[in-house]
Amino acid sequence: MRIHHLNCISTCPLGGRLMDGCAGPLLERGHLTCHCLLLELDTTLVLVDTGFGLRDVANPRGRLSAFFLGLVSPEFREEMTAIRQIERLGFDPRDVRHIVLTHLDFDHAGGLDDFPHATVHMLAAERDHAQAQKTWLDRQRFRPQQWSYRDKWNVYPMSSGEQWFGFKRVRPLDGLPPDIAMVPLIGHTLGHAGVAVPRGDGWLLQAGDAYFFRDEMNIDLPRCTPGLRFYQWMMEKDRSARLRNQERLRDLCRTHGSEVLICCAHDILEFERLADREAGRPPERVRAGVIAGAA
């Protein structure tokens, strides 16, 4: 399995370095990624999260809330959508047969409509709470406008699963190799999950929005920028579960840091380290033609 790292449209939140922790004036906007994974298997492609999609770029106001458009100001460049980056890599986007979602927030689910043939895997609790649209903030963050193909959603209860490095109810996904696993990490949303994929001799855990800033995983002195601490507080659905899961992730770094590499969705330096290119640049072409065996 080969892992490609795609930043599917950066967001530029108010607050400059108080948000992203990089050098820059406070009044300048910060830069966060929407770090998605493209998994290249023998006969199929799997996308982990989708960032923003073509329809978001074409019609931001029709798809996204004015509140979040103003707050995080996505950099709407069509070439940075998952579908355009997958084409640029030399793949046929129709070979994306599976999408695994960490959660349904607008900056993770925006590209779903660009892959109408893909089965979309997520925790059942995520679907149920997002669809319920209970609070004002829920209606701003969970956007039914981005969910045109709900008939392709395949959801999983949190009642069963296996243990994985101390994380409970971890489960493989229908139609995918057993070593691609969904790892429940509740807190940011009520059905939030990380996604573990094999990497070399170990694993890569895409932890989604379980944390936002690289130094939150610093085992000696965890810290977060004030802006991202505020954003996580504003967005959290279960505070104690969120903080407990961050502690568990730090424990994982401490005890199995050589086996498991953890990344989150929005930290720009983590992305650039793993992708080995600047976050604002799409990837170079790696191959021509389609995946053999995919219909």
The CB-nearest residue to Zn ion is 209
Q: Can you tell me the distance from the alpha carbon of 197 to that of 100, in angstroms, rounded to the nearest whole number?
A: 11
Q: Which of 220, 207, 234 is nearest to 19 (CA)?
A: 234
Select the span of 104-112, 223-231, 237-245, 273-281 touching Zn ion (CB under 5 A).
Answer: 104-112
End-to-end alpha-carbon separation of the chain, Å?
19
Distance, in Å, from the CA atom of 149 to the CA atom of 140, rounded to the nearest integer, reads: 20
Kindly state whether residue 107 participates in binding Zn ion, applying the rule CB under 5 A: yes
Closer of 103 and 250 to Zn ion (Cβ): 103
Q: Is 95 in the site for Zn ion (CB under 5 A)?
A: no
**# chain residues binding Zn ion, by CB under 5 A:** 3
The interface mask with Zn ion, positions 253-282, x = CB under 5 A, is: ------------------------------
- Nearest distance from residue 209's CB to Zn ion, in Å? 4
Q: Which is nearer to Zn ion, 41 or 275 (CB)?
A: 275
Residue carrying the six token digits 């070979």: 95
The one segment of 69-77, 207-215, 225-233, 281-289 that binds Zn ion by CB under 5 A: 207-215
Integer Cα distance of 99 and 17 in angstroms:
32
Nearer to Zn ion, 89 or 263 (CB): 263
Q: Does 209 bind Zn ion (CB under 5 A)?
A: yes
Q: What is the closest distance, in whole angstroms, from the C-beta atom of residue 285 to Zn ion in the complex? A: 28
Integer Cα distance of 129 and 81 in angstroms? 26
In degrees, rounded to 5, the angle at the alpha carbon of residue 284 between the alpha carbons of residues 98 and 292 is 45
Nearer Cβ to Zn ion (89/112): 112
Question: How buried is 59 (Cβ within 10 angstroms: 0-12 exposed, 13-18 middle, 19+ buried)?
Answer: exposed
Q: What residues line the site for Zn ion (CB under 5 A)?
A: 105, 107, 209
